[in-house]
Chain A
């Protein structure tokens, strides 16, 4: 029993990170994912705030799941999610104002984010508080990682460098933001402006989805080939077992 529970907890946590990644597998929450991934710092900020909202709402909805009547589930969930989003918004505006102005309306739009409401409907209202907690963290990490991948590609290709300190001011050195030049130098600049625009975001997202689809198809093909080989081997073995032996029979009885 303990083993089963441990396995379920592990599954709740891990599923959202890769196997059921909300952005790359379920293709949910694409709007903020494309809008706020112009810089790595903004993506990390959005990911952390999203994780907090998802975690809080998942835990509270799971704790109240037996109290909330079925007919008012959605309005009740929206009130709970909106409360967490408002708390996050106020804290962000007060203590990380640069992140607040960078995320703009997309922070407030977390209230109607389909991942948050989707996890509430699909998981939190059917599972224990602990499982919902793990699911919230897993999906939060999965979404954050997905945002980081897109932002890393877009910032490097779009600006030719990575910048730290513009949003998280504690990363500044001597009051200046830190620039890590990768595709840009004093006399050369290989950055491509397109990647900083919404069109570039769609392009990067599309390429990542294509790579993931290619890998998934390749895995499916390999599994199908292995299945066919196993079926063929089994059929051969069965045929062999069913056919009469070709070995000569030993003569019966003695000499006449």
Chain B
């Protein structure tokens, strides 16, 4: 066999072997970590549902959605098993803001939907921008969820805040539609 060809095979074989060992290691580890990661997400979601609506005692199973950002929603109930509102799960990214996962509360009627609190499952704005969007946008919004606090996107982390605003608006539209509105 040509010497060059032998060398190409050797190089290719080595890279394939490295890739295969790497893939095996990662797959093996994933078997152990995936259930734990899922449990963490569920735990965080349960905490989030109770933060969005503090009187939440129980909630429905996930209802899958396929919106631009919305992936599912849960209906929250209080101790008297009365519906409190819907909590939407939204996922999205925008420019420098990586995957952001939010819980968004919406309640009320189709004619007069009321915005509820929002809760970060994952804050895609990292470092100081992550802290800025939480302190300057999410906290004031959660203190008083309304269209005026929702519109205050120029908070020092405008891209992240605009993404959250778009997610909340989509959640409200979905809520209105699900309650029979337009």
Contact = CB atoms under 8 A, between A and B. Distances in A.
A1 B170 CA distance: 72
Interface in B26-85: 26, 29-30, 32-33, 36-37, 40, 44
B124 A76 contact: no
A113 to B, nearest CB: 16
Q: How large is the interface on A (under 10, 10 to 19, 20 to 34, 35 or more residues)?
A: 20 to 34
B95 interface: no
A87 B29 contact: yes
B94 interface: no
A42 to B, nearest CB: 9
A104 B22 contact: no
A95 B36 contact: yes
B126 A105 contact: yes
Interface in A75-120: 75-76, 79-80, 82-83, 86-87, 90-91, 93-95, 97, 101-106
5 contacts: A69-B10, A75-B15, A87-B29, A90-B30, A200-B128
| Most chain B CB inside 10 Å of its own CB: which residue of A36, A93, A201 | A93
Contacts of B10: 69
B11 interface: yes
Interface string A158-183: 00000000000000000000000000
B128 A69 contact: no
A136 B124 CA distance: 31
Nearest to B7: A69
A106 B25 contact: no
A59 to B, nearest CB: 15
Interface string A36-48: 1010000000000
B14 interface: yes
B69 to A, nearest CB: 19
Contacts of B132: 197
Contact of A97 (B14, B40, B128, B131): B40
B180 interface: no
Nearest to A75: B15
Nearest to B98: A105
Nearest to B17: A67
A82 B22 contact: yes
Contacts of B131: 38, 196
A91 B29 contact: yes
A201 B126 CA distance: 14
Closest 5 CB pairs of A and B: A104-B126, A94-B33, A94-B36, A35-B127, A83-B22
A43 to B, nearest CB: 12
Interface residues of B, number: 31
Contacts of A105: 98, 126
A36 B14 contact: no
Interface string A9-40: 00000000000000000000000001110100
A161 to B, nearest CB: 14
Interface in A103-153: 103-106
Nearest to A72: B11
A76 B18 contact: yes
Given A79-B15, A95-B36, A86 B128 contact: no
A198 B37 CA distance: 30
A204 interface: no
Nearest to B32: A94
Given A104-B127, A197-B128, 7 more contacts: A36-B127, A76-B18, A80-B22, A87-B29, A103-B126, A104-B123, A198-B127
Contacts of A83: 21-22, 25-26
A68 B29 CA distance: 26
B48 to A, nearest CB: 13
A71 interface: yes
A196 to B, nearest CB: 6
